[in-house]
Amino acid sequence: MRILFLTQWFEPEPAFKGADFAAALEARGHEVEVATGLPNYPGGKLYPGYRIRPYQRQAVDGIVTHRLALWPSHNSSAPGRIANYLSFFISTLLFGLVRGGRYDLVYVYHPPVTPSAAAAIFCALHRKPLVVEIQDLWPDSVAASGMAGKSITRVLGALCTFVYRRATMIVPQSDRMLARLRERGVPARKLQRIYNWATYCRRAGAALPERTEDAFLDRFNVVYGGNLGQAQALDGLIDAVALAGEGVPSLHLHLFGNGIERERLAAHAERVAPSRVTLHGPLDRRVMDRVFDRADALAVQLKDDPLYAITIPSKVQHYLACGRPILAGLTGEAAELLRRAGAALVCPPGDAEALAEAIRQLAEMPAAERARMGENGRRFYEAELGFDRAIDETLGVMQEAARRYGVNPRQQAGAG
């Protein structure tokens, strides 16, 4: 099949589903092109070498990539976010109207919902199958972030309903998210849950920056790597480290990444745990994985909201693949997954005292027992959440969507 992979975020941005995904589809005999935005996530500023222009074609790891114009923004400004999403919606719609007929199938990564809405329009006009993958449930996640009032939430809800009706197949990332979509009237025949995989890179020669290496010496190192945003509620993790530090003198928390909460978190750490928290900048993912390899424990946290009980942050799969013990402030399906793996100490989200106790337990645990926890996670990931399994399941969904539109996947595989 000729597949258009539509996603607002793509390399060089820290995109979860990017060039590896497209390359895996090509390796199985399909022709893949990517339509995406100008790289600006997570800082909201264009990456060096890029400028705002209507269109740019390039190759990313050998994948044909169409860069479409957008307004760069990723901060707490609602007008800025609206301009970001709306501009990419317009660019995507124009691109799809002109070129959408060339593809056998369109696969959209959501959030945000706006590219999916554009694809729903041009796929209907070109009579092409549309597969929508849902990572965050809109408008719920937008409302939970505090970025939108009731009127915008209602508009987004109507937009989501439109997309669900037009989509040929929908891929939620958790069973509870699938159940929520069923409650909203999405037919079961359109839905198939596919768990996320990890982008973890096996040890491959990347060394830690000297400054990072020095920061890890003679410490019990708890590491968080990723977006420093509101949903992660990392002030609670900082509070837990401040509490646990009284019994674990060598304890140190490392926060790697960027995001709209970075400055506030730095100020909070300086108030409650000035000698126990270091905020590092973002690192290349291969180097970041070497940081994860060196950690004594990896931390994942989401704020206490019913929305996150149906969400499995991709960090869960990534940490499991790393093979390190996990400290989790989670509830719902993500917590259940970690407990099944036997790789984590799981606490209620927002409970700093419980998380502090978990940190103390891990610090006092023999190193061999921590290693067993990590190995439990790695085995669980490889058995139930691996990349090849997810790609096979994704292709199954695509082939079913194509079949419903009369496309013969076997005839189209590898077509130019």
Please tell me the total number of residues recorded for the chain in this structure: 416
- Do 160 and 228 have their domain in common? no
Query: Helix or strand or coil: residue 2?
Result: strand
- Tell me, yes or no, whether 205 lies in a domain: no
| 6 Cβ contact list (under 8 Å, min separation 6) | 34, 35, 36, 92, 106, 107, 108, 109, 115, 119
Total domains present in the chain: 2
CATH at 224: 3.40.50.2000
DSSP state of 102: G
- Tell me, yes or no, whether 109 lies in a domain: yes
Full pLDDT tens readout for the chain, 416 residues = 999 999 999 999 987 789 999 999 999 999 999 999 999 987 889 999 999 999 999 999 999 999 999 999 877 677 888 899 999 999 999 999 999 999 999 999 988 999 999 999 999 999 999 999 999 888 877 776 666 667 888 888 999 999 999 999 999 999 999 999 999 999 999 999 999 998 777 765 567 778 888 889 999 999 999 989 888 999 999 999 999 998 999 999 999 998 889 999 999 999 999 999 999 998 888 889 999 999 999 999 998 888 888 989 889 999 999 999 999 999 999 999 999 999 999 999 989 999 999 999 999 999 999 999 999 999 999 998 989 999 999 999 999 999 998 876 544 444 43
Query: What values do phi and psi take at 106, rounded to 5?
Result: -115, 130
DSSP state of 191: B
Reported in sequence order, the residue ranges of 257-340 that DSSP labels E, i.e. its strands, are 277-280, 297-301, 326-329
- Tell me, yes or no, whether 42 lies in a domain: yes
Domain limits at 11? 2-197+386-412
- Tell me, yes or no, whether 100 lies in a domain: yes
Query: Helix or strand or coil: residue 268?
Result: helix
- Tell me, yes or no, whether 204 lies in a domain: no
- Do 307 and 219 have their domain in common? yes
Pair of tokens at residue 197:
């995989």
